[in-house]
Chains A and B, each alone.
Chain A
Amino acid sequence: MTELIGGEMIAWSDLDGTHGPAPAAGPEFGPLLATATGHTLVAGPHAADLIDALRTEQITLLVRGVPDAELLTARYAARPGVTVRCGSLEKLSGTYDTVVALDGLDRLLTTEAADLTWDETLAQLLSVLRPQGRLLLQVANLFGLHRLLALPPTPADTEWAPPDDPTRPTGPDAIRARLSAADVPVLRDYAAYPGALLGGEVLADPALRGFLEATLTAAPAPAQLADPARLIRGALRHNLADALAPAWLFVAGPGPAAPVALIAANASPATAAPSGGSTSATVAAVPPAADRPASAGSAGVGLVAGPVVAAEPASASSTRTGVAAGLLAAADRASAGSAGVGIAGARAEEVRREAGGRWVRGGGVPVPLGHTLEDLLVGAAQRRAVPVVRELLRAWQRSSAAGVPAGQVVVGADGVPHALRAGGKPVEALRRLAATLIAGGDTHLWPSPADEAELTALLAGMTGRELDPRDVPAAARAEPASIRELTIARDRLERELADARAKHEFYERQIANRDHDLKRLRQLNAVLSATVPGKAANTLVGGLKAGRRAVREVVRRSRG
């Protein structure tokens, strides 16, 4: 049953993603939610699979929009312990053993409420948390890399008041201090990336860089200023992955220990099925990035939820855009059985350090240490270290990881490539690398113009293998999605055009010279033909030709 507590918004939905970012989502939150105990408040919009991950009997869901409340009521009608409350946070009464606010604090107050600062909103939320209760709070980083790379945003409907105010803490340290002061000490906090929650210990170990890079860059990125993969790689290298995380997640208050890191198994490359089909199993289809406001108003994972939920083209639900989102789509998919990538398929796995110091994930699979092959290859190409590039390519193409994209291969200190996912055809992996190198402007190493097919063939050649560019299978035309890559592409094309024009002129001159030579030779020929030996030679050649014709005629007749 829906309980209207006051301040509710009649025609409004946060769950469908039309008035702002999609709701908080991601299988990586599952294990943390499963530890919730007692009466649990889920404050703000959360995807259905997050609510489903709660194991407590008594759950209160707080949403702002009446349609959302009705949808949730209908969905959980059969679950007796679930209460849906609709309205503004300051109207909420009662105390809760666990408060879950993975969407942050920016979508808890309604248009009818007074404008509260971030700090006042937090105080309001903490006021309903029982002493010694557990808080799961995610806070968007307004200086996160997704925002640094965002195209100029259009304010979303939800931003009737800007999300930033002077009371908003500007980093994880400040938030930890604020929660401590409120007597809710932080047990663990994570850098929250799409599909990954990374604790400090994981980020501090340089040996995990390759694995983390592969995990964080696995998902396609929406249109923005630059491809985030490069920035993610740089952030990891410069120990800025926490400071530039799209959001931070805090687990505060007493209770069971939280894992050091969680990654969405399906969004991460770690356990992808050999078919490579099931990468997106989280929430619902999210509107394309271009349609979504990349505004500062988004709490939770906000804009960057895109990559996490971005579905493979093969997924039945992935082509949805815009309206059908959140629970609706999730419910659809659940009813569609295995047609889509079901919520049930989404899961998270823990990354932890064993007693012996070894990093393992999931059920004990060792995490490969080192750098991604792509990182090493691009780095070597930038340093013009051709022999290194050649050696890396050879080792990769001779290994069982030959068909795995270079960004999903971790090369350890021993030089052995470890695949993080199942591969396809080697030539496709090479082509993908060629595309990455071209898009990143890292092709100084090779003669231009080198299109994808030509560079693919050259890369194959560097491994000692024969490949004709015409035999490189066609790839879907990938539109450069970001401004930086567009600029690189434009500069490259400009250069290639200038080169082609210069070559054209060169060939014109060559042809003119050859024409001149030909003319001279023909004249010489004519002069020589007029001489006595020349005439004799012509007579001889003519006679021979006549003889050959006669023989052919005889042969033809005898066969006929």
Chain B
Amino acid sequence: MHHANHYYGHSHVLARYCGLDDTDPPRLHGYLQHGWNIGDGLAPDHEYTPGVPSFLWSERTRRRAWSLGRRQGYVVGSPFAYLLAMNPLTDNDQREGTIWYPFHGWEGQHVVGDHDGLMAEIRRTEDGPVTVCLYWQEYRSAKLRQRYESAGFRVICHGYRGGWWKDLDPGFLHRQLAELRRHKRVASNRLCSAVFYGALAGCEPAVYGDPMHLENEKNAFGGQPRILREWAALHGPRVDPATAHRLAVDELGADRLLSPAELRRLLGWPMPASVPDAELTGVLTR
């Protein structure tokens, strides 16, 4: 329905959860929220077709969308929460240090800010090894990458998020989860999906440092000042992990996950051939 449904391998994760081929997820009949959002769940430049449902991460987002006239919102939870549900945390995870996500722009956007100042602050704050995860745009810039590396950070990139059905990366979220599970802390200079993902995946979150800004940044839905006010509890170098986890569960809809049968029906996906009929067909025997 929309190319953004396949960002970060989201639809691939859902296809896997639904028992379908996760290398080639079927067309998803609706718009899937692809990032944490303080608006109606979808990107500001998103083109809406009336009557097409939006599959949102959280109840809070659904309420906001409704208030904005988007009546076709359905809370399904975030793909990351599904991925985590399929790969639950264990006590065997060897966690060390911090994974740091510097605020990044998306395709065509440029971040303006002082990376050196940020690196110094990270050094001052974090006492363990630090992995910096750059967005593919920044990662491609050897100069920027080297700056972080020379500061003693391990620099990684989870991959390309894909777009317009090209260069899709089904492994994006898997790699992100694997990295998060290797770290004790997750941090960023802006509250974003990654921080919530980390909090849900058992990391202690933190949001600190110069939040930087995008060229011509518009404060949609209140922007950064509103995020600071509404989610104040998640800001600072030390954040209460229990509070953060609870908020992550809410924002990522981790308590609102659907059964595969319901999710398939909602997304307009077929029943997998491998599903044993006898097991799942309680209503009607095929």
Q: Which chain B residues (234-286) contact chain A, with CB distance < 8 Å?
A: 255-256, 258-259, 261-266, 271, 275, 277, 280-284, 286
Distance of A209 Cα from B52 Cα, bound (Å): 39
Q: Looking at B49, B71, B255, B282, which has the most chain A CB atoms within 10 Å of its CB?
A: B282
Contact call B284/A471, Cβ cutoff below 8 A: yes
Candidates A447, A466, A472; contact of B261 at CB < 8 Å: A466
Residues of A within 8 A of B281 (CB): 465-467
Total of A-B residue pairs, C-beta within 8 Å: 89
Q: How far is the CB of A409 from chain B (nearest CB, A)?
A: 17
Q: How many residues does chain B have at the interface if contact means C-beta atoms less than 8 Å apart?
A: 30
Does chain A have a CB within 8 A of B51?
A: yes
Candidates A386, A387, A447, A463; contact of B72 at CB < 8 Å: A447
Does chain A have a CB within 8 A of B50?
A: yes
Residue of B nearest to A471 (CB): B284
Does chain B have a CB within 8 A of A427?
A: yes
Distance of A499 Cα from B264 Cα, bound (Å): 22
Candidates A447, A467, A498; contact of B53 at CB < 8 Å: A447
Q: Which chain A residues (456-476) contact chain B, with CB distance < 8 Å?
A: 457-458, 460-468, 471-472
Q: Which chain A residues (425-476) contact chain B, with CB distance < 8 Å?
A: 426-427, 430, 444-449, 457-458, 460-468, 471-472
Distance of A85 Cα from B266 Cα, bound (Å): 68
Q: Which chain A residues (464-507) contact chain B, with CB distance < 8 Å?
A: 464-468, 471-472, 495-496, 498-500, 502-503, 505-506
Does chain A have a CB within 8 A of B10?
A: no
Contact call A447/B30, Cβ cutoff below 8 A: yes
Does chain A have a CB within 8 A of B168?
A: no
Query: Knowing A466-B271, A503-B49 touch, does A448 contact B282 (C-beta < 8 A)?
Result: no
Q: How many residues does chain A have at the interface if contact means C-beta atoms less than 8 Å apart?
A: 36
Contact call A461/B50, Cβ cutoff below 8 A: no
Residues of B within 8 A of A496 (CB): 51
Does chain A have a CB within 8 A of B74?
A: yes
Q: How far is the CB of A433 from chain B (nearest CB, A)?
A: 13
Q: How far is the CB of B167 from chain A (nearest CB, A)?
A: 16
Contact call A458/B265, Cβ cutoff below 8 A: yes
Map CB proximity to B onto A128-170 as digits: 1 under 8 Å, 0 otherwise.
0000000000000000000000000000000000000000000
Contact call B50/A502, Cβ cutoff below 8 A: yes
Residues of B within 8 A of A499 (CB): 50-52
Residue of A nearest to B285 (CB): A471
Q: Looking at B62, B281, B284, which has the most chain A CB atoms within 10 Å of its CB?
A: B284
Q: How far is the CB of A514 from chain B (nearest CB, A)?
A: 11
Map CB proximity to A onto B137-167 as digits: 1 under 8 Å, 0 otherwise.
0000000000000000000000000000000
Does chain B have a CB within 8 A of A397?
A: yes
Does chain A have a CB within 8 A of B75?
A: yes
Candidates A397, A446, A449, A503; contact of B282 at CB < 8 Å: A397
Distance of A463 Cα from B255 Cα, bound (Å): 16
Contact call B51/A503, Cβ cutoff below 8 A: yes
Query: Knowing A384-B62, A496-B51, A502-B49 touch, does A461 contact B282 (C-beta < 8 A)?
Result: no
Q: How far is the CB of A383 from chain B (nearest CB, A)?
A: 11
Query: Knowing A430-B283, A461-B266 touch, does A468 contact B49 (C-beta < 8 A)?
Result: no
Q: Which chain A residues (493-541) contact chain B, with CB distance < 8 Å?
A: 495-496, 498-500, 502-503, 505-506
Q: How far is the CB of A460 from chain B (nearest CB, A)?
A: 5
Contact call A468/B262, Cβ cutoff below 8 A: no
Query: Knowing A386-B75, A446-B74, A448-B72 touch, does A503 contact B52 (C-beta < 8 A)?
Result: yes
Map CB proximity to A onto B44-70 as digits: 1 under 8 Å, 0 otherwise.
000001111100000000100000000
Distance of A426 Cα from B281 Cα, bound (Å): 12
Q: How far is the CB of B267 from chain A (nearest CB, A)?
A: 10
Q: How far is the CB of A428 from chain B (nearest CB, A)?
A: 10
Q: How far is the CB of B3 from chain A (nearest CB, A)?
A: 11
Query: Knowing A384-B62, A458-B262, A460-B261 touch, does A449 contact B51 (C-beta < 8 A)?
Result: yes
Residue of A nearest to B71 (CB): A444
Contact call B50/A457, Cβ cutoff below 8 A: no
Distance of A511 Cα from B283 Cα, bound (Å): 38
Map CB proximity to A onto B31-49 as digits: 1 under 8 Å, 0 otherwise.
0000000000000000001
Distance of A448 Cα from B71 Cα, bound (Å): 10
Contact call B283/A460, Cβ cutoff below 8 A: yes
Contact call B256/A498, Cβ cutoff below 8 A: no
Residues of B within 8 A of A461 (CB): 258-259, 261-266
Residue of B nearest to A499 (CB): B51
Q: How far is the CB of B49 from chain A (nearest CB, A)?
A: 4
Distance of A397 Cα from B259 Cα, bound (Å): 15
Q: How far is the CB of A290 from chain B (nearest CB, A)?
A: 36
Residue of B nearest to A386 (CB): B75
Residue of A nearest to B284 (CB): A471
Query: Knowing A387-B256, A447-B266, A498-B51 touch, does A466 contact B72 (C-beta < 8 A)?
Result: no
Residues of A within 8 A of B62 (CB): 384
Contact call B51/A463, Cβ cutoff below 8 A: no
Contact call B286/A457, Cβ cutoff below 8 A: no
Give the interface of B toward A (CB within 8 A).
30, 49-53, 62, 71-72, 74-75, 255-256, 258-259, 261-266, 271, 275, 277, 280-284, 286
Q: Which 9 A-B pairs have the closest CB atoms?
A: A499-B51, A447-B53, A461-B262, A461-B265, A465-B282, A464-B259, A502-B50, A466-B280, A506-B49
